[in-house]
Structure 1
């Protein structure tokens, strides 16, 4: 029963990275061009304020700075660094570096949560990174130092957000929607000054732009992050981190289905390797223990 519950929770949680994998397509096809900070701020801040209005509860005491740290790590700083890396590095290089995120979670979970580093997790980390390389990397490219640092910082932000969310939990009596609203609002507030100083407003919004923003706010932020934080509460931190590897798989699949992009044999192999890494990253059921008082497993006669 417990294994089935875990599998169901993992499947539901994986919907969040799947939605995030669709964000690239929505951004390129529906949103105003060349305004990534506008897209990210609009994705986080309105949804966060909506959840705050529904929950009618603000953080208290220590949770003011905890909500700010979690919102910055999970949403604000992570997305900002992600876009910096995307602009300064080829997509394959950026994705390859970002795929180190489960490795960081394995280390942080050992340091902050007391989780034991298992060999299967190390194998899953290598497979996950290798699968992402096969999925998105094309050719050789020079490395921009700022872009590399931004990609590493983004992976660390997401890993830190997962681990700290697991360590601190959720305040007693605070609902999941309100808890998500705190983080979305904090993340959007962190992004707001960068957007205002680095990008200008579009001349106008089309119907497609409005539809794209509505998708990002509802599915891309409110619903997906509620599902994500629910999974962080119920699953081991390392298991959740591997589920995030599903995002580039969905992004690649949507490019093939919607934009008529081609899939090579290496990309298909990369998808399979990533899925294998996700499965290996989930906790294994403990082996049954037999004592002198317990019946031994039956054996058939030769």
Structure 2
């Protein structure tokens, strides 16, 4: 498979994110979701921007359309998403939040057609159904309390992250860098910094000054900043700019599998036969979805395999609107099977 490396790399990100629930509940200060999001995102973004400054000098900062694109993507993928994610984590049972998060492939599929012209492969949608069922078996319990605010936050997180994923796929990576990896570092750093700057004042206004952090708190924040955010989002955004959105979001189903495994291994939580079957279903759905390829519909209505979006952008910021239907301009095309650079 030509794009096996971005699939494998992108799969690492949700596996790392599967540790977030354990770290949040065991290591972080209680009832500080906005603080947790801000402290996780902003230092990671500044760290990556500093790395780009060393590698690419003045290109450490966005240029042209990437100023507003970074703000939009940082708001959707980081600022709003982190806030909603932690609110849902604090107010909902982990199982309910995980199942709602598993609906992301369907939200992405609904957005990918008008924004990218991609129809998800039937195999990918079957995989999504299997995956959500597997997550439900894995994490749901018979007695759950559904907090309305938690439900709204969870659904809002799915929508914002899905829109950010589709727009990130459409816009690709900024141009002008010597290597794709440096461009991805810049793209990731800009989004994390923008999202962190959005979360920080909100945390101060809503939650007040942070408490005195213990060594345990600092260890938890350090892990989430370096591993759970800087590294994981770098790998994830590589997939965003390389893979079809539905295929990518199916990889996110690995997160509750890892979370359940850590609950068993670290917290002593038992896994029933049904939960093991759910985990197997999720893994099968991920494998099935990884082999699915979307189709693109052109103006004549015929369906053909989707070409990869050019990774380097090559002037895309000057010709590629957010919603092509608003401008009447067609989507840029590549030859079928052209490799992603």
Q: Is the 8 A contact 1:32 1:202 kept in 2?
A: no
CA-to-partner distance for each residue in 1:61-113, whole Å, 9 max, x for gaps?
A: 22111101111111111121122233343332222222110111112122211
What is the aligned partner in structure 1 of residue 271 from structure 2?
Answer: 263
**How do 1:139-288 and structure 2 match up within 5 A?**
139-141=142-144, 143-174=146-177, 175-284=183-292
What is the aligned partner in structure 2 of residue 103 from structure 1?
Answer: 106
CA-to-partner distance for each residue in 1:175-204, whole Å, 9 max, x for gaps?
A: 211111100001111211221122244442
Distance 1:148 1:159 in 2: 17
What is the aligned partner in structure 1 of residue 15 from structure 2?
Answer: 18
Query: How far off its partner does 1:238 sit?
Result: 1.4
For structure 1, which runs of at least 5 residues remain unmatched after alignment? 287-302
**Matched residue of 1:109: which SS?**
helix
Distance 1:201 1:209 in 2: 15
Query: Aligned pair in 2 of structure 1 residues 227, 143: CA closer, same or farther (>3 Å)?
Result: same
For structure 2, which runs of at least 5 residues remain unmatched after alignment? 54-59, 178-182, 295-341
**Matched residue of 1:14: which SS?**
helix
What is the aligned partner in structure 1 of residue 62 from structure 2?
Answer: 59
Bigger relative contact order, structure 1 or 2 (CA pairs below 8 A, ≥6 apart): 1
Query: Aligned pair in 2 of structure 1 residues 97, 240: CA closer, same or farther (>3 Å)?
Result: same
Query: Of 116, 120, 136, which residue of structure 1 is paired with 2:119?
Result: 116
TM-score by length of 2: 0.78
Distance 1:143 1:210 in 2: 31
**Matched residue of 2:119: which SS?**
coil
**Which one has a larger percent helix, Structure 1 or Structure 2?**
1
CA-to-partner distance for each residue in 1:4-57, whole Å, 9 max, x for gaps?
A: x42332122111111111112122222223222222111100111122223232
What is the aligned partner in structure 2 of residue 41 from structure 1?
Answer: 38
Query: How far off its partner does 1:212 sit?
Result: 1.5
Distance 2:96 2:249 in 1: 20
Query: How far off its partner does 1:283 sit?
Result: 3.2
Query: How far off its partner does 1:205 sit?
Result: 2.4
Instruction: Give the superposed CA RMSD.
Output: 1.9
Q: Is the 8 A contact 1:13 1:230 kept in 2?
A: yes
Distance 2:110 2:45 in 1: 30
1:29 aligns with 2:26: yes
Q: Is the 8 A contact 2:33 2:90 kept in 1?
A: no
Distance 1:196 1:205 in 2: 15
**Matched residue of 2:3: which SS?**
helix
Distance 2:211 2:293 in 1: 56
Number of corresponding residues: 283
TM-score by length of 1: 0.88
Distance 1:143 1:13 in 2: 31
Rg (Cα) greater in structure: 1
